[in-house]
Chains A and B, each alone.
Chain A
């Protein structure tokens, strides 16, 4: 079965990102396909590589980047939500005249259409949020 996942809350503040991660792990383990993971609202904050959590805690961003690499996940950050919250890739940083980008490996910034497409293409869309 093909799943798409929508994550609407940022890391640490809310359990949504942790729950989604565990759900995706279990789905992949059961042999399902993850069509796309879409980050919206404060969920875009999962994608900054500038987080420095305490050493004895999970590193949510790194965990996502590693999972994406291992399973070739398509992790999309909504551009409109990202712009509001200061999440930038190299292109966006340049375009907006900002002095640096902060997006972590494995994430890509794209439009909301990617969320709609994720709903259309997948068998199930599962939302994690507040």
Chain B
């Protein structure tokens, strides 16, 4: 089974991302959206953890939420894929289940 994990919380505020990464099996996908996009930026206190996770899981970030928060795509960790809502829908369809880390 392949899971799309969605994280909508900043790692600076909640443990959703940390818990998600602890439970995301190799081959699964993680989409950062809403306040969760903060974790996609390089140079943050969580960047190394994200980079480590990216050896096993694919990281995506919702472009509209980045843009809304004034976070440019040039600031992202290398290898994170920017998707739009259409891409979000495609990810949800491509994976077998969607697990929201609320």
Q: Determine whether A and B are in direct contact in the complex, meaning some CB atoms lie less than 8 angstroms apart.
A: yes
- Judged by DSSP, the binding face of A is mixed
| Cβ distance A125 to chain B, nearest Cβ, rounded Å | 7
Identity of the chain B residue whose Cβ is nearest the Cβ of A3 in the assembled complex: B92
Tell me whether B64 and A22 are in contact (CB under 8 A).
yes
Contacts A25-B85, A126-B98, A129-B102 known; A19 to B92 CB distance under 8 Å? no
Residues in A with CB closer than 8 Å to B102 are 8, 127, 129-130
- What range describes how many residues of B lie at the interface? 10 to 19
Q: Count of A residues near B, CB < 8 Å?
A: 22
The A-contacting residues of B in range 72-88, CB under 8 angstroms, are 84-86, 88
* Complex interface: stretch among A27-35, A95-103, A110-118: A27-35
Tell yes or no: A23 within 8 A of B by CB.
yes
Tell me whether B98 and A27 are in contact (CB under 8 A).
no
Tell yes or no: A120 within 8 A of B by CB.
no
A129 partner, pick from B33, B64, B90, B100, beta carbons under 8 A? B100
| Cβ distance A78 to chain B, nearest Cβ, rounded Å | 16
The B-contacting residues of A in range 8-34, CB under 8 angstroms, are 8, 15-16, 19, 22-23, 25-27, 29-30, 32
- Judged by DSSP, the binding face of B is helix
B92 partner, pick from A15, A25, A124, A129, beta carbons under 8 A? A124
Tell me whether A19 and B100 are in contact (CB under 8 A).
no
Identity of the chain B residue whose Cβ is nearest the Cβ of A26 in the assembled complex: B85
| Cβ distance B40 to chain A, nearest Cβ, rounded Å | 16
Residues in B with CB closer than 8 Å to A22 are 64, 85
CA distance A40 to B100 in the complex (A): 15
Identity of the chain B residue whose Cβ is nearest the Cβ of A9 in the assembled complex: B102
Contacts A124-B92, A125-B98, A130-B102 known; A15 to B85 CB distance under 8 Å? no
Residues on A facing B (Cβ under 8 Å):
1, 3, 8, 15-16, 19, 22-23, 25-27, 29-30, 32, 123-130
Residues on B facing A (Cβ under 8 Å):
6, 8, 33-35, 64, 84-86, 88-90, 92-93, 97-98, 100, 102
